[in-house]
Amino acid sequence: MDCLIATAFKLLDEAKNIIVEGKEMNDDTNIRVNDHADNVMILSYYANQMVDVFLLDSFFAIVYLSFSEHSVAEDEFMDRFRFLVQLLEKEFVLHWDIEEKFATVVELYIKNQMIRKEENKLSLLINMETDVIRYERLMYLASLVYPTVDSYWITSCSLSALEAVPMLPRCIVPLLTQWIATHLITGRRTIHREVLSTESSRVAVDVFMSMGFLTEIKAKEKLSPDAQILLHEFGIPTSEILIELSGQNSDGGKTPVSPVDPEGMMKAVMAQIEMNRANSNMVDLCQQIDSYRLGAASQREAFQNAQVFQKCLKQIKGILDADVTSVVKKRQLDLPEDEANLAQLIYSLLASSVPAGDRAAKARALRRISEAYNLR
């Protein structure tokens, strides 16, 4: 353990980025990392290489800690475990028999006297009051996957944009997610810098698509020629794939499921099963993922996080309303409102991440993601 800590301090560049609170080093000393440390992402990269060994225990710990009750139905515990595995199986390249893995891990923790099985109920025996050491061990195991859960949560929050614009180029989602992530980091809604990774947001979109929440379509089939040319000026090729909300989800889940749309009905039903009581729209997906996050069992945290999706949507709409003269009007183009809003959103995101023209002036005016968090 001493070697691990020493290596971590070395990667973080201890002299510059480690802050020790207090004059003396003892068991109660708080040690924290400078929020803008370059090497936080490097340390996260090294940490991620060890996660696979502990994945089964980590998934179990996350589900265990998501409950505030001391006794839960085994079926409910299994439902949460199944959803978490199916959510992250592409991220960690898992090929599990979920029923078998669940039975194995439950048996292990019963043997370790951390849970007790009584008929169809599981009693959760470990908490801060009963056994602080083993509870902190659960927290550690969960912390190995918490950053990935937060990445998927923030990606789902970012896709609130699809309620402001009807479609998004797939290539712009990672940038949009980073933009939302910087706001949530600043607002202390997440403590994990790994959420700035573009790889997780790309995989998350694939997962949401496989769950029936999103569908893809070619830009040429959806956008007018003028809109395609404008996006091409922004560096987005005309062959780019667009994503949009799908089936019953395309209006935020407000359309009732009906036999008129059998494909949409099937997707909605499947999403209902996968989501375990969610209502098959992006807001519910966001809140369902949030229920697995650190501190989700706290009522205060749950209440505050429930508002995040709408706040993200409000910020995105703020981009569309920010400029009196939009990029479309400046180019004197006559585009439908949906396409004009899409172009404005993409232009604003690209402008805020890659300054053009007078770089010095632009960089002072815009809070670039790469500068705010010293990403390379």
Phi/psi for 96 (5° steps) reads -95, 150
- Cβ contacts of 29-33, under 8 Å, gap ≥ 24: none
pLDDT in tens, 7-29: 777 777 767 777 777 777 777 77
Question: Bridge-partner residues for 242, per DSSP?
Answer: 169, 217
Q: Are 291 and 66 in contact (CB under 8 A)?
A: yes
- Residue 60's CB: how many other CB atoms inside 10 A? 25
**DSSP-derived 3-state class of residue 244:** strand
Q: Are 98 and 105 in contact (CB under 8 A)?
A: no
Domains in the chain, CATH or no CATH each? 2-48 (no CATH), 51-143 (1.10.10), 147-372 (no CATH)
pLDDT in tens, 162-220: 988 989 999 999 999 999 998 888 888 888 888 888 889 999 999 999 888 899 999 88
pLDDT in tens, 94-149: 999 999 999 999 999 999 999 999 989 999 999 988 999 999 999 999 999 999 99
Angle value at C-alpha 306, between 47 and 371, nearest 5 degrees: 45
Q: Are 124 and 72 in contact (CB under 8 A)?
A: yes
Helix (H) or strand (E) holding 76: helix 74-88
* Closest to 163 measured CA to CA, from 323, 317, 319, 344: 317
Please check the confidence at residue 55 and state whether its pLDDT lies above 50.
Answer: yes
Phi/psi for 18 (5° steps) reads -95, 125
Q: What is the pTM assigned to this prediction? A: 0.80
Q: Are 310 and 160 in contact (CB under 8 A)?
A: yes
**One-letter amino acid of 291:** S
Please check the confidence at residue 258 and state whether its pLDDT lies above 50.
Answer: no
Going from the C-alpha of 310 to that of each of 50, 249, 251, 260, 279, the distances in angstroms are 35, 17, 15, 31, 16
* Closest to 319 measured CA to CA, from 124, 221, 179, 190: 179
pLDDT for res 73 = 95
CA–CA separation, 262 and 39 (whole Å) = 50
Phi/psi for 34 (5° steps) reads -50, 125
Q: H helices of 295-358, where?
A: 299-306, 308-322, 327-330, 337-353
